[in-house]
Each structure stands twice: as C-alpha cells, then as structure tokens.
Structure 1
Amino acid sequence: MDLQLPAEFLALFAGGTGYLLDQLHTWGPVLTPVGSFQLQPARIEEDLPLIHRWMNDPAVAPFWELAGPRNRTEDHLRAQLDGDGRSVPCLGVLDGTPMSYWEIYRADLDPLARHYPARPHDTGIHVLVGAATDRGRGLGSGLLRAVADLVLDRRPACARVVAEPDLRNTPSVAAFLSAGFRFADEVDLPGKRAALMIRDRVLRDVL
C-alpha cells in the first residue's frame, strides 16, 4: 500500500511536483572527475527505447524487475511522471551522452519509510548504469558521490541521502560505499533484502 499525501497538503503548493524535490529539473549540470554530468528528467517519447533496452540487460533485470515488453517500462515511468512528484525518473547525461538511469525520490514519503527510522526530507536514489562497459571501473561510484552531493546542495532541508540496493547486488553495494555512503542496516523490503545505505550531510567531507 502506497503512502498517500493529503490533497490539501499538495494544494498548498501549486505545482507541488516541483516542490517535493526542489525543482529538480532546474538543477543543471555539475562538474565531476569524469566529466560534466546532469540529471535530465525522463521523457517517454524520447527516452523510453533506451531505458527499455537497459532494463532488459540480463545483468540488470533481476534487480529492477522491469524486463519484458516496452509497456512494462513505460508504465513504471508514467506512474512517476503522472504522480505527485515524490519520485522523478531521470537520464544521467555525461558529457552530452545519456549513459545511466536514475530515480530521485522522497524517501520519507515512500513506502521505504516504514522500514527504517526516516527523517523529514530524506532523499532516495535508485541508479542503473546502462552500458556494461561503464560498469566495474569506478564510474558508478564517482557519479553516485556527485549526485548525492548535488541533492545535498540543491535540497537544503535534506540532511541525508539514502539508498536500498539489493544485498545480492554486491557491486552496487560496493559502489555506494565507495561513494561515501555508510552501511546502516539490513532491511526486508517487498521482493528483496536490502542494504540501507546513508550519506549524511554532516559526514560528506569525511567519507
């Protein structure tokens, strides 16, 4: 069962979609050690074929569970794009080339909040590095650090960035650790046992 935001709450913020994640579409590019990187909110018509192909990669499918016909991926994207703005699907664009898929979401407003001691404005990250050639060479951890810092810079009310990779996905867990996240707990979520990873604002210059 999803967490529902009261209509009167959303009515306080005309254009509540932008409010919940501090106008993510305006965040712009950041310079990283591997190039200029930007989160670009996904567009169904332009981006669905690429995201669908990535979701059908055998290395990705067991963890995202979106392999299969194109409409399965489309429904997943539309549920976010047509929702209240608590989750924004994005392409990660590196030096002008789309190379990863991201979901930036309000963890405190997500069902995940039932499974850990959530705090107001906790912001979550899901990530998929698209090309096999981009995996396993430190690129993912570098971009995870950059995106987590981008969230903290653009969302001043957010004190923590969280993630919940599948414990079986050891390369993903390792990437989060290398990106300055700390392992906080193991949590049982629908369909998986996850590693709760947290990047704290107060520790961002330490880890």
Structure 2
Amino acid sequence: MPPTESGTSSGSEEAFAHPREASPDDALDDTLDLHLPPEVTAMFSAEPITAEPITADPAGSPRAGFLLDDVADWGPATTHAGPFQLVPVRLDRDLSLISGWMNDPAVAAFWELAGPEEITAAHLRTQLDGDGRSVPCLGVLAGLPMSYWEVYRADLDPVARYYPARPHDTGLHLLIGGVADRGRGLGTALLRATADLVLDHRPQCGRVIAEPDLRNTPSVAAFLGAGFRYCDEIDLPGKRAALMVRDRAHRHLL
C-alpha cells in the first residue's frame, strides 16, 4: 500500500506518511496484490497501445497508462510557486534522487525505505512492473524535481478493504524531497493542484482519497487546506490513518 507525506516531527506540513503500512510478510504490504476483475483483464487482450509507456522506462509496461488515464499526458497545473507537473518515474534516471529523499530521517520515519538504493528500487519496480494501478511520479515544480508521488487506484488497492470504496477512487501518496521546500505551504498547494489534475483527467473518478498517519497532524492539516474532508479513522496494517476525501461534486466549494 503506498504512503502520503514524509516526516512530521519538525512540524512541516510537507513531510508525509509512507505507503508501506504492513510488514514484508503481510499480504496487504503490496499495492499490487489484488486481482483485476475479468472484465478489466479482458481489455488487455486488445491491440497494444502505441503511445510511449507512461513510465518512459524501456522496462516499463506499454499498458501502464490504462488504469489511470495516462498520467504522463496530464500536463502541468498552475500553482503560486510555478507550473507543477507529474512526471512518471524512470528508474535509470530517478533512482538516486528518490533514494536520497528516502534516506532523509524525516521521510524515513514514515516511508521506511531508508538504506541502499536497491531498497527504493524494489519499491519502485513493484509498481513499474505491475499492471499500472499505481504510478510512481516525480513532482516537477518550475522545471525542478522536488517531490515524489504515487497516484493509485484506491478501489483496486488493499486499502479498499478498509473503507467503502467506490469505482475509480484515486489515491495519492507523496513526500516533499528537499528540506528547503518544506514548511512554506507547498504541500497544501501541490495537493490541491494534483487533486485537480486527477479530477480533470479522470472523468470517471468521483473522489480523490488519501490515508495519512493519524499522528501526522501537519499532513492532515495540509489535506484539509487543499479541500479534502476528514471522513473517518481507519486501522490499516501498521498505522491508524485519517481517511481524507476530496469529492468532485464539492471541488469548487472548498
């Protein structure tokens, strides 16, 4: 199961929680452990998609954009800090950068991916080699990569066992990489921009959801500031989480 924002001990709203809520032996540890329904898998027997894989990785699946409406093609969103865009991760290009962020103590406290690069690589490969229900991305602000995101199909994720999921619910996990980018309101602005990107480009998605660690009060506050509502508390493997929901129907009211 993916994360949300990285460390919070410093009081920074941008240090958010990690997606790994379970131990390696737990069946719910992996975002990709659920089976797709037959009507979905049948669609993969059609002619191959000719567009470039959203991972931009030669090892990535050419169908990686199917379940999330081609994240790679969403384009930028406007924020007060400049244009912001989700760029699907390419392992050969991005591993060192993301692994460095994972070794920041504020991030490691929630993501639990500190250590050699191979630890982060294994986490990324699980998604890159999967069926596309979770897409790892760099968050690029004004041309510079400064955050890590996972956009995932919450209705196809183990988290769906813990809340009343609806078809096409889309989840977000994130961390702000650089210390200089934390604590200045970017988390709220980027969460709002990214939720808007999801709703703009995924017409069948009625809700964007997240499940930050309940103890991570700056993260919860950032979601609230971005137009999410505090919907419930749920017990996930490894954490008690705040279920945050941003509804399409209310997006212009919050």
The residue type paired with residue 10 of structure 1 is T
> 2: CA distance between counterparts of 1:177 and 1:193?
18
- Superposed, which structure 2 residues align to 1:87-102 within 5 Å? 87-102=134-149
Query: Sequence identity of aligned pairs in percent?
Result: 71
Match of residue 109, structure 2, among 62, 65, 72? 62
2:35 is equivalent to residue 4 of structure 1: yes
- TM-score, normalised with respect to structure 1: 0.96
- Residue 102 of structure 1 aligns to a residue whose secondary structure is strand
2:178 is equivalent to residue 131 of structure 1: yes
Match of residue 82, structure 1, among 116, 119, 129? 129
Task: Report which structure shows greater RCO (CA 8 Å, sep ≥6).
Answer: 2
The residue type paired with residue 155 of structure 2 is D
Match of 2:253 in 1: 206
Cα distance per residue 1:20-79 (max 9 Å; x no partner):
000111111121121011000001011000100101111111111111111110000000
Cα distance per residue 1:79-116 (max 9 Å; x no partner):
00000000000000001100000000000000000000
Cα distance per residue 1:104-145 (max 9 Å; x no partner):
000000000000000000000001001111111111100000
The residue type paired with residue 204 of structure 1 is R
Query: 1:11 offset after TM fit, Å?
Result: 3.5
- TM-score, normalised with respect to structure 2: 0.79
> 2: CA distance between counterparts of 1:90 and 1:11?
27
Does structure 2 retain, via aligned residues, the 8 Å contact 1:101–1:128?
yes
Structure 1: gaps (5+ residues): none
Relative to its length, the structure with more helix (as a share) is 1
Cα distance per residue 1:138-179 (max 9 Å; x no partner):
111000000000100000000000000111212111111110
Query: 1:9 offset after TM fit, Å?
Result: 2.7
| Alpha-carbon spacing, 1:182–1:8, altered in 2? closer, same or farther (3 Å) | closer
Relative to its length, the structure with more strand (as a share) is 1
- Residue 65 of structure 2 aligns to a residue whose secondary structure is helix
> 2: CA distance between counterparts of 1:79 and 1:6?
20
Match of 1:170 in 2: 217
Does structure 2 retain, via aligned residues, the 8 Å contact 1:136–1:171?
no
> 2: CA distance between counterparts of 1:83 and 1:39?
19
> 2: CA distance between counterparts of 1:198 and 1:9?
25
- Superposed, which structure 2 residues align to 1:187-198 within 5 Å? 187-198=234-245
The residue type paired with residue 91 of structure 1 is L
> 1: CA distance between counterparts of 2:232 and 2:220?
12
Query: 1:17 offset after TM fit, Å?
Result: 2.5
Structure 2: gaps (5+ residues): 1-26, 28-32, 50-62
> 1: CA distance between counterparts of 2:155 and 2:39?
18
> 1: CA distance between counterparts of 2:206 and 2:173?
18
> 2: CA distance between counterparts of 1:112 and 1:202?
23
The residue type paired with residue 116 of structure 1 is Y
Larger displacement relative to structure 2 (13-22 or 117-126): 13-22
Match of 2:190 in 1: 143
